[in-house]
Amino acid sequence: MSPPPFAGAAGAPPRARVLPRFLTRLLAVVAVVLGTALAGPLPAARASMTLTQVSDFGSNPGALTMYVYRPASLPAHPPVVVALHGCTQNAQVYADNSGLPQLADRDGFLLVLAQTSSANNASQCFNWFQTTDNRRGQGEALSIRQMVSQAVTAYGADPQRVYVTGLSAGGAMTAVMLATYPDVFSAGAVVAGLPYDCTKDNSPYTCMNPGVDLSPDAWAQRVRDAYPSYTGPWPRTAVWYGDQDTTVVPRNATELRDQWTALHGLSQTPSRTATIGPDATRQDQYLAADGTVAVEVDRVPGIGHGTPVDPGTGTQQCGSTGAPYFAASICSSYWIARFFGLDTSDPGGGGTGGGGSGAACWTASNYAQVQAGRATTSGGYTYAKGSQQNMGLYNTFVTHTLKESPTGYYTIADNGCP
């Protein structure tokens, strides 16, 4: 079998790389396991979301395509959520079925969708397993980072509130982005993905099933090695898995937990456990010293490989099962937005954004203001970023309105905003 073409997407520079024959054969196996190649085109989604293609967002060494979903009503300096589709999917399919655009409308964030192609990978998987694409400053990882820069420049997005999520190969690529660009992403949610750099000394197939068991410290070191000079805080990380997944087995959820709890200096024993959603998803949370959720693991019962969705119009419902790899169970996107601190429908969520006269205003609990990056916490109290005004106790019960003006400077505006 001759190596598949690895030319860039239309209009992008070709990618100069030739794969050894053994790796080409391995990738064919990976494509089947990760992508389960379909006999025909994907079924049409029930509703097609309007996406805008952005053709010029940098050098784009990974030859990816950038799409944006911009809500009709978007606050000044909105957060950014980057979404990475799974194998055999594309940006449109992920937008139409994940529920993320509806949450962007409600919660006021800019949605950026990266898309790979069959020219990059035969099954349209992000190349999370290749060093040419999973290292800082090169390949697909750099292309996705450039999309974030474009979102900040062109849409006035807040560079302090950038998040990433994705499914399967997109989930594994989410872990890549958190590891290689911890200075860019505040948090991420890996859906049916894998620990960063598992393929350093294992095949992709082995990493997916049966999985690889390393110590938490060994996993954490692989992330540190991705950006050795980095000394800042590590991104908060959520992990989502179906407990019947045989493609990327649930063992990877445990290994991801080990990797990111170790980075945060936390025990692998959860600080608290709860059941959420209509299907009693088990949610384990690992709390940092200041009470924030640094790592979260959500294990969804009774589903296999895919993004958990819960079609409907309820507050905690979202998504569609109109395409493969979207499993009817729980609206994971809702809970992911909540983990990011973006959910405006809940007192513990991201607050409401609005504004006028050049100012953006946000009403939310102190907990949510900190999660969204508009405030900090010290000694059990909350302080507005910039003004350092004392907002009271750091919890989900005390609520304030913050006004942002200028960018990154927040003041308490409980009596009216702007």
Q: Kindly indicate the confidence band of residue 399, based on its pLDDT and cuts at 50, 70 and 90.
A: confident
Res. 231: pLDDT tops 80: yes
> How many degrees, rounded to 5, is the angle at CA 159 between CA 95 and CA 219?
80
Q: Which entry of 98, 123, 168, 186 is annotated as an active-site residue?
A: 168
CB neighbour burial string for 351-368, b if at least 16 within 10 angstroms, e if fewer: bbbbbeeebbbbbbbbbb
**In this structure, what token pair is assigned to residue 194?**
């894998």
Burial of residue 2 (number of CB atoms within 10 Å: 0-12, 13-18, 19+): exposed
DSSP 200: G
Q: Which residues of 316-385 form beta strands (DSSP E)?
A: 326-328, 352-356, 359-365, 375-378, 381-384
pLDDT of residue 311: 97
Res. 13: pLDDT tops 80: no
Residues ≥6 apart with Cβ < 8 Å to 289: none
pLDDT of residue 43: 40
pLDDT of residue 374: 86
pLDDT of residue 33: 40
Res. 15: pLDDT tops 80: no
pLDDT of residue 37: 31
pLDDT of residue 345: 66
pLDDT of residue 103: 97
pLDDT of residue 20: 44
Q: Contact at 8 Å (CB) between 118 and 357?
A: no
pLDDT of residue 251: 98
- Length of the chain, please? 418
What's the chain's average pLDDT?
86
Cα–Cα distance, 268 to 276 (Å, whole number) = 21
pLDDT of residue 253: 98
CA 330 to chain centre: 17
pLDDT tens profile 111-151 = 999 999 999 999 999 999 999 999 999 999 999 999 999 99
Res. 64: pLDDT tops 80: yes
Q: Kindly indicate the confidence band of residue 46, based on its pLDDT and cuts at 50, 70 and 90.
A: low
Res. 97: pLDDT tops 80: yes
pLDDT of residue 368: 86
Res. 397: pLDDT tops 60: yes
pLDDT of residue 359: 52
pLDDT of residue 407: 63
pLDDT of residue 417: 64
User: In the chain, what percentage of residues exceed pLDDT 70?
Assistant: 84
- Of the two residues 398 and 305, the one the predictor is more confident about is 305
pLDDT of residue 338: 95
Residues ≥6 apart with Cβ < 8 Å to 41: none
Is there a catalytic annotation at residue 168? yes
Burial of residue 411 (number of CB atoms within 10 Å: 0-12, 13-18, 19+): middle
